[in-house]
Amino acid sequence: MKAFRINRYSKTDTLALVEVPAPKIKEHEVLVEIYAASINQLDAKLKHGDFKLLLPYKMPLILGHDVAGVIVQVGSKVKNFQVGDEIYARLPDFSIGGFAEYVAIDENDIALKPTNMTMEEAASIPLVGLTAWQALVEIAQIKKGQKVFIQAGSGGVGTIAIQLAKYLGAKVATTASKNSFDQLSALGADLLIDYKTEKFEDIISDYDVVLHSQDTKTLEKCFGILKPGGKVISISGPPTVDFAQDLGLAWYMKLIISLLSRGIEKKANKLKIDYTFLFMRANGQQLAEITKLIEANQLKAVIDQIFPFEKTNDALTYVESGRAKGKVVVTRSLKD
């Protein structure tokens, strides 16, 4: 099969298009022919080596975390899926490989593709959808009437998180450039803040939840807009000791993370703010719940550009530029 892979961590090397054997499935896995895959900032960061201490992958490595496709083979103990099923998934850490023609996935990590979405639309959902779900439903447990601040509303996570928070009954504020305001308002944002000319910390206050995705300086500003007992869920860090323990990291990594997060956690505790670092995980059951919302027209995909599979390097470069509004997808199905 064809696949795009890296041979080493690098900020300058491009992905190499190579011929490799198709994966062999285990008894609880399915083999999926990939029709579409989305590009995430996580792919770029892995390529650059930003997570090499947290996620020590072996090289060479096929990147790609989000896929949509058709099951072409099932393992002997697979119970809930069959050949021919159209599925989508966020591939679990250490089992990625979406920039390829085929991938093996454990059945617990997949869900049936929403019937009202194309393969390209479905491929854009899993990582950002699960991030929003785990932040807003699992951790924040948002209730109707609460106020939620979502940073970078026009990004992949932001566009889904706005819709999910609105579905949960929250009042939603977000930051973006003015040229994204109409789109984000249509997705459900109640208050739009132009990050180029306005400071969110001067405009909003007494919020219940913040979904943080930027730098530490911005994180500290978020503490000031929350009411006592409010929650900050960060997808950009710093990571916490709880995260290090959950990941089973070595003692020296736990020590490093403890030192990195000590200042933030001290400030959060002083202000009676609950700070959580989220490194989202694959979860087929949660993805199935997201499917229900999509099929009920409560969530929709927001796609910036679709590239052919052969242009995966161009798609990754575009994501790295930071200009994408919504998701970037590569596809084989449009060609075929």
For 316-335, what is the mean pLDDT?
Answer: 88
Structural element, H or E, at residue 218: helix 216-223
CB 243 within 8 A of CB 237: no
Report the alpha-carbon distance of residue 51 to residue 60 in Å, rounded: 16
For 172-195, what is the mean pLDDT?
Answer: 97
3-state secondary structure 61-97: EECCCEEEEEEEEECCCCCCCCCCCEEEEECCCCCCC
Whole-prediction pTM:
0.96
**Model confidence over 270-291: pLDDT tens digits?**
999 999 999 999 999 999 999 9
Q: Provide the mean pLDDT of the chain.
A: 95
**Residue 260 pLDDT:** 83
**Model confidence over 104-117: pLDDT tens digits?**
999 999 999 999 99
Report the alpha-carbon distance of residue 26 to residue 32 in Å, rounded: 13
**Residue 241 pLDDT:** 85
**Residue 334 pLDDT:** 52
Q: Worst-scoring range by mean pLDDT, 21-25, 219-223, 329-333?
A: 329-333
3-state helix, strand, coil in the chain (%, to 5): 35, 25, 40
Q: Residue 5: is its pLDDT beyond 70?
A: yes
